[in-house]
Structure 1
Amino acid sequence: MLSKEYIIKRFISYVTIDTESDPTSNTTPSTKKQWDLANKLAEELKAIGMSDVTIDDNAYIMATLPSNIDFDVPTIGFISHFDTSPDFTGANVKPQIHENYLGGDILLNKEENIVLSPNYFEDLRLYIGQTLITTDGTTLLGADDKAGICEIVSAMEYLIQHPEIKHGKIRVGFTPDEEIGRGAHKFDVKKFGADWAYTMDGSQIGELEYENFNAASAVVKVKGKIVHPGYAKDKLINSMYIATEFINSLPMLETPEHTDGYQGFFHLHDIEGHVEETKLQYIIRDHDKEHFEARKEMMQKLTNELNSQYQREVITIEIKDQYYNMKEKVEPVMHIVDIAEEAMKQLNIKPLIKAIRGGTDGSQLSYMGLPCPNIFAGGHNFHGRYEYVPVESMIKATEVICKIAELTALKK
């Protein structure tokens, strides 16, 4: 496999390019700076020897590694996204390399006393003795999902350099704007031409996921009436108080900070409030389709009840579905999960088959006709200053890609 130093150099060349996406933009990609990495990746794919390298007007990149066997096997794909989350800045990333991690606190930033500690982030202890890449505490790192891109490019380069490893046709795809939910929106599944694919976008080593949340957004607008407070008796209606009623009427323990595993939630992520109008923005998540529908119905019923209580339309709600659980589309072709699981086992990686508490390009792609489970890319603590990735996990993910290609090409 390619050396640790080679993987580190490639990864750092990606994360030091700012590719933060913007949910308020109507363009694709949503930010011009995503083109900086997109164009670099297209050229790099050509340089390592990939065929049919294309980059379209929306910055979607595709390339082919031709088959090196003389019999037909399925065409498989590997997909990652190159944008980073707008939740935290990705500008001027300064990666720090920590060799032979000893298991204690990591001082990310002395001036600001920013510490990455296993007392809070317990997963750090899984990687004692390994090489960790962190931020300097002032930005996110971008392992989500530049680690996945690094692994795919590195695996393709290794397969090109080692033709003795037999494989069928492999397609790779890199997308913009995944972090704002649009990564698959303009992905041309027909052009991609794979029978199935894998997103390299998971976290801890061993993760293998083919279930994710059903997801919706909800915008709640509450109307009040502003009157001079000195003359407000029986006239003023404070929309913020009604909004508080709405918030407190939802199950208080069904929020992200109180749920895990298969438990769904309501997440209030933004409030803008004045006496005259208050706007609440929620996301609704649940793995179970019936529970998902029930959550949306609960919010609509609560809206209706408050309007009835105030005897006028004080609240409006707009609910929009965002994506669905890919389990429905992957279960009929479970052999694609079995192949990934077997690849991990052959590499002495313990498969961690679990449900994603989030979404993935793979969810939307599965419903677009491209079944697409998700495989670990190695990073932890995404979207914030405490993000890190073990280099050994990236190497293992690279090996998994190569092993999946090899297993898919076994003559039946």
Structure 2
Amino acid sequence: MQNITDRFVKYITIDTQSDPENSAFPSTEKQWDLARILVDELQEIGMQNVTLDDNCYVMATLPSNVDFKVPTIGFISHIDTSPDYSGTNVNPQFHPNYNGEDIILNKEKNIILSPSYFEDLLLYKGKTLITTDGTTLLGADDKAGIAEIVTAMEYLIKHPEIKHGKIRVAFTPDEEVGKGAGMFDVKKFGADWAYTMDGSQVGELEYENFNAAGAKVTINGKIVHPGYAKGKMINSMLIANDFIAALPKDEVPEKTEGYEGFYHLYAMKGEVEKTELQYIIRDHDLKLFQERKETFQKVADDLNKKIGSTTVEVEIKDQYFNMREKIEPVMHIVDIAEEAMKQLGIKPLIKAIRGGTDGSQLSYKGLPCPNIFAGGHNFHGRYEYVAVESMQLATDVIVKIAQITTERAK
């Protein structure tokens, strides 16, 4: 396991945060730093047709080692880390043989990772945990996935007795800002299907995800001297408060689970004259998703009727859709992953993703792409962690999927 640990640490210490405010692709130049390292590493371990294109997509091939036709499968992870929390100067902390108690991430700032709040920690008693030092995210989302894919390919190259068909791997930029599959060349990738290694808990296997939209609300006010403001001033921040309050108060991420959708206000900035709200809108059911967008627009329309027709402006953009529609016709690809886990003694946890993944967009572009666990928890913040053993199990699943796909093709 030392090999995958070293590889993971190398990746997470490279800052690759993406930027939702930048329309360039990729959205940050620093994503190229890891992409170039991955090109070198893939070539070093013996992968073929290693490419880095003008859009920062890394692709490579492991040729088949059998003399009969096997479907070409792919494995995909993303290079970037979330813009929600700093990814600069990541300083990983190791906790061998975790005892199930509180972990002090940062004594000086009193930052504690506690199983009393994060119950999933107790799943990893006796394991080696890698955490942050409390000042950055870790980057297991999705550098754990990258480390697992590269390690699995290296293992297959070093063990030619394990029979497999042609395997394609890819590492994508800008997944965290919803653009990861936007410029992905499915035809060039050339796989019959693929798996993203981008899930969380050991055993996760997902082929459903949210339908997703991003929404920007611009509220236009009028600034007047407060001493003479009666009947004239329009305080955009107070109208913003009315907008927020008009949405269903319990349909937010912190009060929903499972298949329940939500409206999530994730950023706001404002002054009297202008306030901006940034939302994401999510639902697994397409009909309910459309209704959510209509409700969102209606809140703006109602406020405009009350205050003025151009006071509240709403811009809603669809981001991705539930990949279930594209996966169900080819459910054998989920069955293979499930069987791989069972053969390794892993209990499959088949559930819907409360989020998105490159796989959802890729599925709609013609590359069916379920999601498999990468092992990390508490993504996008200082409490992120991953167990070394989880990364090794994910690596084993990749190898086993390649074997089972080949066996079924005989």
What TM-score comes out, normalization by structure 1 length? 0.97
**Cα 1:336–1:243, aligned 2, differ >3 Å: closer, same or farther?**
same
Q: Would you say 1:109 and 2:106 are equivalent positions? A: yes
* Cα distance between partner residues in 2 of 1:227 and 1:11: 56
Which of 67, 70, 79 aligns to 1:70? It is 67
Structure 2 equivalent of residue 92 of structure 1? 89
Q: For 1:5-404, what aligned pairs fall within 5 Å after superposition?
A: 5-404=2-401
Give the partner amino acid of 1:60.
Answer: Y
Q: Would you say 1:406 and 2:391 are equivalent positions? A: no
Give the partner amino acid of 2:365.
Answer: M
Q: Deviations over 1:123-180 (max 9, x none)?
A: 0000000111111111111111010000000100111111111111000001111111
**Offset at 1:312?**
3.2
Q: Deviations over 1:267-315 (max 9, x none)?
A: 1112222222222111100000000000001111222222222353321
| Secondary structure in structure 2 of the residue aligned to 1:200 | strand
| Secondary structure in structure 2 of the residue aligned to 1:144 | helix
Give the partner amino acid of 1:40.
Answer: I
Gapped regions of structure 2 (runs ≥ 5): none
* Cα distance between partner residues in 1 of 2:94 and 2:234: 56
* Cα distance between partner residues in 2 of 1:277 and 1:136: 38
Gapped regions of structure 1 (runs ≥ 5): none
Give the partner amino acid of 1:100.
Answer: N
Give the partner amino acid of 1:231.
Answer: Y
Q: Deviations over 1:358-401 (max 9, x none)?
A: 11000110111100000000001111111110011000000000
| Secondary structure in structure 2 of the residue aligned to 1:283 | strand
Give the partner amino acid of 2:79.
Answer: F
Q: Deviations over 1:219-262 (max 9, x none)?
A: 11222222222122222222222222211111000011110110
Residue-pair matches, total: 409
Q: Which runs of 4+ in 1 moved over 6 A?
A: none
**Cα 1:280–1:202, aligned 2, differ >3 Å: closer, same or farther?**
same
* Cα distance between partner residues in 1 of 2:230 and 2:223: 11
What TM-score comes out, normalization by structure 2 length? 0.98
The percentage of counterpart residues that share the same residue type is: 72
* Cα distance between partner residues in 2 of 1:51 and 1:312: 59
Q: CA RMSD in A?
A: 1.1
| Secondary structure in structure 1 of the residue aligned to 2:376 | coil
* Cα distance between partner residues in 2 of 1:378 and 1:25: 30
* Cα distance between partner residues in 2 of 1:252 and 1:26: 32
* Cα distance between partner residues in 1 of 2:258 and 2:339: 24
**Cα 1:27–1:226, aligned 2, differ >3 Å: closer, same or farther?**
closer
* Cα distance between partner residues in 1 of 2:137 and 2:305: 46
Q: Which moved more, 1:128-137 or 1:215-224?
A: 215-224
Give the partner amino acid of 1:263.
Answer: E
* Cα distance between partner residues in 1 of 2:235 and 2:33: 48
* Cα distance between partner residues in 1 of 2:48 and 2:347: 33
Q: Which moved more, 1:270-279 or 1:259-268?
A: 270-279
| Secondary structure in structure 2 of the residue aligned to 1:234 | coil
| Secondary structure in structure 2 of the residue aligned to 1:37 | helix
| Secondary structure in structure 2 of the residue aligned to 1:397 | helix
| Secondary structure in structure 2 of the residue aligned to 1:409 | helix
* Cα distance between partner residues in 2 of 1:266 and 1:38: 34
